[in-house]
Structure 1
Amino acid sequence: MSESRLREQVCLLARSMFERGLTHGSSGNISVVLDDGGLLMTPTDASLGFLDPARLSRFDAQGRFIDGDKPTKEAPLHRALYESRSGSRAVVHLHSTHSVALSMLPDVDPASVLPPLTPYYVMRVGDTALVPYHRPGDPMVADAIRGLAGRYASVLLANHGPVVAGTSLTAAVNAIEELEETARLFLLLRGLHPRTLSPAQVEELSHVFGNDHHHG
């Protein structure tokens, strides 16, 4: 996809998520890999609802900032996911309400924050890891993500929000939206002991749809 088309796609999908309340104010950020190995990233203090395609932050293949508005302070978070998840072409980070709420619950398993409630969570997200709280922009967040050694495409930052890598921008957006919807279902069903998919059902999804996500 051409750079100009990718710039438009970033702004279109960002606005879509903003308008549906998946992130608010100037929260959330998106990055995408360009054909030359460089990166486009949403700027700092920019609302995802009102991005200008021409003003996105542009990095070259060596990671140098070369053009556009000043990049998000979450840039190291994005880089850590690209470094540890080979094949990632986009990273999306939101402050989506139910995912943030989930990240604050005391009894969440940091190795797998959500059970396999739906086939689409298993297929699009897989497992989500919980990373302990660090202030936004803290380099320790990137270190914690590198410490997961690429085992997760989906990570929940405690008291902060989800960050998800995908093989394309649409894949990353679909996965983070699926994560938010599953977190919402989980909170709705909390204490009601819902049926989850069995290991055999999860295995069948992996076999039929060929994903490499794991559960438990």
Structure 2
Amino acid sequence: MSVRNLNLLHPRDQIIMIINRIYKKGLTTTSGGNISIMDESGDMWVTPSGVDKGSLKPGDIMCVKADGEIIGPHKPSMEYPFHKAIYVERPDLKSVVHAHPPALVAFSIVRQIPNTNVIPQVKSVCGPIGYAKYHIPGSNQLGNSISEQFKNGFDSVIMENHGAVVGGKNVIKAYERFETLEFACRTLINSNIIGEPKFLTEEQIYSFNNQVPTDYPKMSNVVYTSDEKGIRHEIKDMVRRACDQGLMMSTYGTISVRWKGNDFLITPTDATRWDIQESDIVQVKDGKCEADKVPSRSTWLHQKIYEMHPEINAIILTQPEYLMAYGVTHKKLDVRTIPESWIFLQDMANVPFGSHFAQNNLLPELISKDNPGVIIENDSVLMTGNNLLQAFDRLEVAEFSAKSLVMGTSLGSFEPMSDNEIDELRKTFC
């Protein structure tokens, strides 16, 4: 949903939309967590206390008026005082999200702050992370501890032995920050299972943010043919499927599909992935894009791959959490786990951070029939296919393989398929 459309949605409906997403993604329990929105009149809308988060209705959302009057059929969340304290210290924030997702809780109970320099997008979305000392839930002391961190400029705060709380300029931005922070924590935990995470320097993050082209040549005339419209629908559906499957997040993920020749359609930048519409998709023709739209920051890379590889008709660039454990540790993913993994992938090369920077031809030259996917260290996973379904299937297989390897680490040493077994697969399927 765009921010413009969000502004026309009542705060209680905004809260229901986000709490449903949080609950369905397994980021909160039936009784845990709370969301609030501060409206333009100074009234705070907040989730109720003791009501099933999986079945909340708009009428359940409580309103705490600016004068302290409470309106609604329930009690407001017992922790609404710390929401109020945050808004007092940070009037620029209009929404607060708090819950107890497993990875964030893991960091809170070992009393550590996740390093957001693990992936550039995590750093840009979450920023530095604050830390609030433990106090009784609902107490003034807890409110003071948390609000002090927000007063110091943090937008994301780990709550000692409790969970996390984040703020945003609207409820979508708060949710995106919350989801991204949990993703970062899961990536770091999985990385520690298979190795040791490597972090980016401030200089590397600065270089990434400043090398991305933003001024794309614009078309003067755009033609929307029937087949072009069909591709838009295909991309929209696959983005939502990727979000549902945990292969893409609200804040990151790019899909493109070749249209004709080297022209293609691609997802936009800075758009909430789970609500992308056909009209958001950007047409790129003869190196130019639609006016009034900003295509993915990786558009140049997609263009180069399509120019160099006529057999490739779809590209996905995203951040699945188990594959990213390999990207963050710089360890190679060995796809010789089960026959399907090798048949679909054959190889998954790692390339250094920076290989995806504009005008670097390493990735387009590396991609091939035998190497359809690449792990970009500390950034993302790139997968290709002769159509979008094949690219998505390969991505799923790669993520399942990575997940099995991470899980298998606790059981013993990985025993890959033998060279003879791989030769038999090669003779049979290649």
TM over 0.5: yes
User: Bigger CA drift: 57-66 or 96-105?
Assistant: 57-66
How far residue 206 of structure 1 moved from its aligned partner, in angstroms, is: 6.6
User: SS of 2:143's equivalent?
Assistant: helix
Contact 1:41-1:72 at 8 Å conserved across structures:
yes
SS of alignment partner, residue 130 of structure 2: strand
| TM-score, length-scaled by structure 2 | 0.45
- Of residues 64-73 and 15-24 in structure 1, the stretch that sits farther from structure 2 once superposed is 64-73
Residues in 2 aligned to 1:158 and 1:165: alpha-carbon distance in whole angstroms: 17
1:54 aligned to which of 54, 59, 63: 59
Q: Which has the larger radius of gyration?
A: 2
Instruction: Provide the secondary structure at the position in 2 that maps to 1:180.
Output: helix
Contact in 1 for aligned 2:62/2:70 (Cα 8 Å):
yes
Counterpart CA distance in 2 for 1:205 and 1:36 is: 40
Measured against aligned partners, the alpha-carbon deviations of 1:78-135 in whole angstroms (never above 9, x if no partner) come to 11221222310100001100000011225x2xxx532411122111110111212222
Report the more deviating stretch, 33-42 or 187-196: 187-196
* 1:48 to partner: Cα distance: 2.3
> Which of 14, 33, 52 does residue 9 from structure 1 map onto?
14
Q: Distance in 1 between matches of 2:53 and 2:210?
A: 37
Aligned partners of 1:123 and 1:205 also within 8 Å: no
Q: Counterparts of 1:160 and 1:124 in 2: how far apart (Å)?
A: 22
Amino acid at match of 2:204: Q
1:182 paired with 2:187, answer no
Is the CA contact (8 Å cut-off) linking 2:116 and 2:184 kept in structure 1? no
Partners of 1:6 and 1:208 in 2: CA distance: 38
Do the aligned residues in 2 keep the contact of 1:58 with 1:67 (CA within 8 Å)? yes
Distance 1:208 1:132, change over 3 A: farther
1:42-78 deviation line (CA, Å, top 9, x unaligned) = 0001232211101211122234323342100001111
Partners of 1:46 and 1:10 in 2: CA distance:
14
Gaps of 5+ in 1: 210-216
Tell me the amino acid that sits aligned with residue 88 of structure 2: E
In the alignment, what sits opposite 1:37? 42
Q: Could you tell me which residue of structure 2 aligns to residue 142 of structure 1? A: 143
**In structure 1, what is the Cα distance between the partners aligned to 2:104 and 2:147?**
21
CA contact (8 A) 1:29 1:72 kept: yes
Q: Check the 8 A contact 1:27/1:47 in 2, yes or no.
A: no
Aligned residues: 204
- Alpha-carbon shift at residue 183 of structure 1 (Å): 0.6
Determine helix, strand or coil for the equivalent of 1:156: strand
Is the 2:104–2:182 contact (alpha carbons within 8 Å) kept by the matching residues of 1?
Answer: yes
Q: CA deviation at 1:208?
A: 8.0
Shift of 1:6: 2.6
Quick one: which amino acid aligns to residue 141 of structure 1?
L
Letter of the structure 2 residue corresponding to residue 117 of structure 1? V
Secondary structure of 2:10's counterpart equals helix
CA deviations over 1:148-193 (Å, ceiling 9, x no partner): 2242111111111110000010000010000101011111112723
Secondary structure of the corresponding residue to residue 118 of structure 2: coil
How far apart are the structure 2 equivalents of 1:139 and 1:76?
7
Q: Is residue 199 of structure 1 aligned with residue 202 of structure 2?
A: yes
2:130, 2:96 → 1: CA distance?
15
Asked if structure 2 preserves the Cα contact closer than 8 Å seen for 1:16 and 1:49, the reply is no
| Residue identity opposite 2:130 in structure 1 | A
Task: Work out whether residues 92 and 172 of structure 1, in 8 Å CA contact, stay in contact via their aligned partners in 2.
Answer: yes
CA gap of 1:55–1:118, structure 2 versus 1, over 3 A, is: same
Distance (whole Å) between structure 2 residues aligned to residue 204 and residue 61 of structure 1: 45
Question: Relative contact order (alpha carbons < 8 A, sep ≥ 6): 1 or 2 greater?
Answer: 1
Alignment check: 8 A CA contact 1:85 1:153 kept: no
In the alignment, the residues of structure 1 paired with residue 161 and residue 128 of structure 2 have an alpha-carbon distance, to the nearest angstrom, of: 19
Which SS does the other structure have where 2:27 is aligned?
Answer: coil
Matches within 5 A, 1:119-138: 119-138=120-139
User: 1:21 & 1:141 partners in 2: Cα distance?
Assistant: 25
TM-score by length of 1: 0.86
Q: 1:206 to 1:130 in 2, by over 3 A?
A: farther
1:212 is matched with none
Alpha-carbon contact 1:113-1:130 (below 8 Å) kept: no
CA RMSD of aligned residues (A): 2.1
2:117 is matched with: 116
Aligned-partner Cα distance in 2 for 1:139–1:168: 25
Q: Residues 115, 170 of structure 1: CA spacing in aligned structure 2 closer, same or farther, 3 A cutoff?
A: closer
Q: Following TM superposition, by how much is the alpha carbon of 1:205 offset from its aligned partner in structure 2, in angstroms?
A: 6.1
